[in-house]
Structure 1
Amino acid sequence: MNSIKQSFNLEGKVAIVTGSSKGIGKAIAQGLAEHGAKVVISSRSQEAVDEVVTEFKKEGLEAAGIACHIGKAEQRENLIQKTIEHYGGVDILVNNAAINPIYGPIEDAEEGVFDKIMDVNVKAPWMLSNLALPSMKQRGGGSIINIASVEALHPGAGLGLYSTSKAALLMLTKNQAKEWGKYGIRANVLCPGLIKTKFSAALWQNEQLLNKIEKTLPSARMGMPEEMGGIVCLLASDAGAYMTGGVYNADGGYMIAG
């Protein structure tokens, strides 16, 4: 009988997590490393990624830090190339880094803001996945996990362009799953709800708004970054071997809230 517990084991696997110097990305990287993966910590600042690597190594986890601004083509190429040089290949790619530089009505946004959001939130995950593809094919498969948002599924207030970019990421993932399944590569999306991170601070630091949101949630609270780690470990490992093209919410029940 195959051990289900063993199927979560990621030993010998190499994982890249973008935007992993803090918040959800860091929690995901920690979960993957705790399950035995060699994890590449990446964000725009080398100093920030080095700090996380030091912290992980103290805990006995295997990690390397490679700075990357995912909006820049040469830095994306460098991230994949350096990972392959350092660890020999790529098995797991978590496209977590994203931006939301604007809060307000869609008609008030500048055209340049639209381009920036699409560049980082949609184009970069597409390009990074394409760059990781040859290594995954060579290694007989892989797992791509794109981090979207419940905003991709349900329009919130003031986040229209961000929502649009995340909805595009959903369809990109489904196409990756459909086209790359023949190579043993799976692609799935995680849609977090309101999670306590610096990224969402504008929402949860407003006490009135937070109370209003929490009252409508079945969980009656916002989520914590580490609560996103478990589902990514499932999607990254053999435990989730039959899961591809899926969209998974971890939102405290936001999508069923009245």
Structure 2
Amino acid sequence: MLAFRLGFLDVGWLDLLDISLVALLIYQIYNLVRGSVASRVFVGYLLVYFAYLLVKALGLNLLTTILEYFISVGALALIIIFQQEIRRFLLLIGKSTNVANSRWLRRWVLRQPPAPEFITALRPVLDACKTLSAEFSGGLIVIRKNDDLEKFVQSGESIDAEVSKPLLLAIFSQYSPLHDGAVIISDGRIQSARCILPVSDDDELPSTLGFRHRAALGMSEATDAAIIAVSEESGRLTLALNGELFTNLTLSELEERLSRYLREPGRKAYQL
């Protein structure tokens, strides 16, 4: 194995690769927890670990033993403290690899029959968003792509009706008992209304974004669905995709981003 000498150390190419991968992992973890209280815990734990390496190198046996016990217990504490961040990290990995949505995996490994192709018309959704925006009526619309949304569907009131502009406007009317919460559209139909979505705990979100936007972002972090949020205060259109918010969109921008995302390879087909 090729190696070179750095002072009194023999450093090989595998050592450099190992260090680079660890540095990349730490950087990604920091990006994941940055801006939250968990980031301070993470930095504090790193400082304690570096202190442990230092006292171990100096041969301070008693202090080394104490820090070893602290670090071993601290590892379990970190799992508890960072459970939300770990879950988000694993979800991002799962969605980026898209293994669960592989047709080959579903058919031959998971023994699931191939799912049928559905066509969902987006034009009634876009027309409803245009009206809601003009009338400053809030709205939260979830459009399923591949992930199963059944537990979110069950949290609301069952509708099971064809997607239409009048029905969406009636649901989000301020006089409707269903206007709070989200509408979930799946398989070309409005499955449920007044649904409860997971709320993002991202501390970097601007204070101007309200509960609907946090719910849209939280849903996009947990699933691959496309979520449209219409602000009740400003009428602005926001689209949440894969843990990212696209704010202040025009109707044409919303249409372009939404149709492009939903037409990506997957289980469903969509048309305007």
Per the TM superposition, whether the score is higher than 0.5 is: no
Instruction: Indicate the structure (1 or 2) with the bigger Cα radius of gyration.
Output: 2
So what's the TM-score if we normalise by structure 1? 0.26
> Larger % of strand: which?
2
TM-score, length-scaled by structure 2? 0.25
Comparing both chains, which one has the higher relative contact order based on Cα–Cα distances under 8 Å and sequence gaps of 6 or more? 1
